[in-house]
Amino acid sequence: MKRTTALRAAVAALLLTVGLGAAHAGVASAAPLPEPARPSASAGLLDAMRQDLGLTAAQAEERLRAEKSAVEVEKTARQRTGAAYGGSWFDPATGRLVVAVTDRAGEAEARALGADTRLVRHSAAALDRAKARLDTLRAPAGVAGWHVDPRSNSVVVDVVRAQRQTPAVRSFVDRARAGGLVTVAETAEAPRTYAAGTVGGDPYYTGNVRCSIGFSVYGGFVTAGHCAQAGAAVRGWDGSAMGTFQGSTFPGDDYAYVSIHSGWWTVPVVLGWGTVPDQLVRGSAEAPVGASICRSGSTTHWHCGTVLAKNETVNYSQGAVYQMTKTSVCAEGGDSGGSFLSGDQAQGVTSGGWGNCSSGGQTWFQPVNEILGRYGLRLHTA
Cβ contacts of residue 115 below 8 Å, gap of 6+? 73, 77, 88, 96, 97, 98, 99
| 254 catalytic per annotation | yes
- Candidate list 154, 216, 284, 336, residue with the active-site label: 336
Exactly one of 147, 226, 301, 303 is catalytic; name it: 226
**CB under 8 Å to 113, separation ≥6 — which residues?**
73, 76, 77, 80
253 in catalytic set: no
Neighbours of 32 (CB within 10 A): 10
The CA distance from 217 to 257, in Å, is 9
Which candidate in 149, 253, 254, 335 is catalytic? 254
Strands 182-187 and 154-160: parallel
Nearest to 46 by CA among 58, 33, 29, 31: 58
Residues 6+ apart with CB under 8 A from 58: none
Give the residue ranges of DSSP H helices in the chain: 3-28, 43-53, 57-81, 104-112, 124-135, 167-178, 368-375
Alpha carbon distance, N-terminus to C-terminus of the chain: 21
Angle at 271 between CA 267 and CA 277, to 5 degrees: 105
C-alpha to C-alpha distance for 184 and 195, rounded to whole angstroms: 29
**266 DSSP 8-state letter:** -
CB 92 within 8 A of CB 290: yes
- From 325, 355, 353, 354, select the one nearest 340 (Cα to Cα): 325
Contact residues for 9 (Cβ-Cβ < 8 A; gap 6+): 265, 267
Q: How far is CA 149 from CA 58, 91, 96, 140, 181, in A?
A: 30, 14, 18, 22, 10
Helix and strand totals (H; E) in the chain: 7, 23
The residues annotated with a catalytic role in the active site are: 226, 254, 336
